[in-house]
Amino acid sequence: MGEFDTATENAALKAAIVARVEREGGITFRDFMAMALYGPGLGYYESQRETVGRGGDYLTSPEVSALFGAMVGRQLREMWEVQGKPGRFQVVEVGAGPGRLCHDVMRWALRTAQALAGSIDYVLVETSAAMVERQKRLLADDRLSDSVRWSEALPDRVTGCILSNELLDAMPVHRVAVENGRLREVFVTWDGSGFSEELREPSTSAIGEYFERIKVIPREGCRAEVNLEAVRWMHEAGRAMERGFVMTFDYGYEAEQMYAPWRTDGTLLCFYRHNPSHDLYVRIGRQDMTAHVDFTSVRRAGEEAGLRTLGLVSQSEFLVRLGIMEAIAPPGEGETDMEEYVARRRAVMELLDPGGLGRIRVLVQAKGVESASLTGLKGDDDA
């Protein structure tokens, strides 16, 4: 690895941010976060570094085990069946990262659900050229690339399922606070030696309207995040869906928990080599930034776009109901591969961990589907 790869800060990206801040006299935190993560050719997600996985900065469910992709595959198969097993079933995954979920879903389908595999039209929606190359390399290894195509935007009309895994929590957010009873927004400034923050009038009326809709507002003195892009994205997904499902995996809360009085500093976190941090202005371009999702606003946005909410459950509940515990049945007589058993058990426990990946929420919404009782959403009485 070269010097650029091992540096703990992207000097060119920091200089570009400082230049913009000085030119404009301060920028919203949302714009700072957008440049840090997605700045063309320089941002965190634009780099060639390994960001996801055990060798990166954070871990997502597909990186833990192919069992996650198999369970998602089971739910997709049920969605396909609910829609009458169409000959063309679109699976549109947005923000797929390295492409591991797509890889595991398609491999599972080709091995255990050939009829579904023959119907799937898998589309990866990705705007980062660097990420597209990583996805193509991964899928080429198992000769899966022929079953997948790429797009820079959501298709106009989708019949099947629009899928995302930890997409919304990576979108740039506005940071706000209530000061003397007034809603204010965090702006980022530069004092010549470091970044600092100022509270100013909100940059857009959409922030105030956001809180008016959910009837909740942060307590005096508390910092909080507003993810307007997540709301816009769900509107777009709902409009694009002609018939089928929108399935969203992400960390988050309902609005009352998201903006609870005791949550004094919001949910924004940075991750560098799997270590969390609240320092937003170091390791620019080298650390991930993420904020939890307000599922009340996201769910309502989907409903406003014509989607019907089927359920919101934890990932732990979702995976258990789809049968992930089958993977850790004790080895039977004559079973010698204890190493495989132990590895699977470790992976299942990690995916179900209520303090980690297990607390991810799974939101499923539908359009044009009259009857849709999905196994991943069923309660104990229904299972």
pLDDT of residue 379: 63
Instruction: Tell me which residue of 196, 298, 219 sits closest to 266, measured CA to CA.
Output: 219
Q: Lowest mean pLDDT of 36-50, 90-104, 235-249, name the range.
A: 36-50
Own/partner long-range contacts of 6-12 (Cβ < 8 Å, ≥24 apart): 7/286, 8/272, 8/283, 8/286, 9/282, 9/283, 9/284, 9/285, 9/286, 10/42, 10/47, 10/284, 10/285, 10/286, 12/42
Is it the case that residue 383 has pLDDT exceeding 60? no
- Contact between 162 and 94 under an 8 Å Cβ cutoff? The reply is yes
Instruction: Render 176-228 in DSSP notation, one character per residue.
Output: EEEETTEEEEEEEEE-SSSEEEEEES-S-HHHHHHHHHHT--PPBT-EEEE-H
pLDDT of residue 83: 94
3-state secondary structure of 321: helix
Looking at residue 285, the DSSP 8-state letter turns out to be T
Start-to-end CA distance of the chain, whole Å, equals 50
Is it the case that residue 50 has pLDDT exceeding 80? no
Task: Tell me which CATH code domain 3-368 carries.
Answer: 3.40.50.12710
Backbone dihedral angles phi then psi of residue 187, each to the nearest 5 degrees: -110, 145
Whether the model clears a pTM of 0.85, i.e. scores above it, the answer is yes
pLDDT of residue 58: 61
- ∠ CA 19-23-27 to the nearest 5 degrees? 85
Is it the case that residue 15 has pLDDT exceeding 50? yes
- Contact between 160 and 90 under an 8 Å Cβ cutoff? The reply is yes
pLDDT of residue 62: 95
Residues 6+ positions from 299 with CB-CB distance below 8 Å: 309, 312, 363, 365
User: pLDDT for 84-126, tens place per residue?
Assistant: 999 999 999 999 989 999 999 999 999 999 999 999 999 999 9
CA distance 119 to 136: 21
Tokens of 171: 């979108």
State the pLDDT confidence band at 54, using cuts at 50, 70 and 90.
low
User: pLDDT for 173-195, tens place per residue?
Assistant: 999 999 999 999 999 999 988 99
Instruction: Tell me which residue of 200, 201, 206 sits closest to 228, measured CA to CA.
Output: 206
Q: Lowest mean pLDDT of 67-71, 114-118, 338-342, name the range.
A: 338-342
CA distance 106 to 120: 9
Helices vs. strands in the chain: H and E counts, helices first: 14, 17
3-state secondary structure of 27: strand
Is it the case that residue 381 has pLDDT exceeding 50? no
- ∠ CA 313-225-227 to the nearest 5 degrees? 65
pLDDT of residue 276: 78
User: pLDDT for 330-339, tens place per residue?
Assistant: 776 555 578 8
Residue percentage of the chain with pLDDT more than 90:
74
Mean pLDDT of 78-89: 96
pLDDT of residue 1: 32
CA distance 310 to 262: 30
Single-letter residue type at 189: T
Mean pLDDT of 3-32: 86
Is it the case that residue 275 has pLDDT exceeding 50? yes
Q: Which single residue is written with the structure tokens 């941002």?
A: 43
Instruction: Tell me which residue of 167, 160, 17 sits closest to 89, measured CA to CA.
Output: 160
Mean pLDDT of the chain: 90
pLDDT of residue 128: 84
3-state secondary structure of 296: helix
Residue percentage of the chain with pLDDT more than 70:
92
- Contact between 93 and 125 under an 8 Å Cβ cutoff? The reply is yes
Q: Lowest mean pLDDT of 139-143, 287-291, 304-308, name the range.
A: 139-143
Domain borders along the chain are 3-368
State the pLDDT confidence band at 202, using cuts at 50, 70 and 90.
very high
Is it the case that residue 14 has pLDDT exceeding 50? yes
pLDDT of residue 339: 82
- Contact between 126 and 150 under an 8 Å Cβ cutoff? The reply is yes
pLDDT of residue 53: 56
pLDDT of residue 141: 76
CA distance 344 to 67: 8
CA distance 184 to 279: 21
Q: Which residue has the higher pLDDT, 272 or 256?
A: 256
The CA distances from residue 55 to 22, 125, 235, in Å, are 36, 24, 35
Q: Lowest mean pLDDT of 7-21, 53-67, 261-275, 304-318, name the range.
A: 53-67
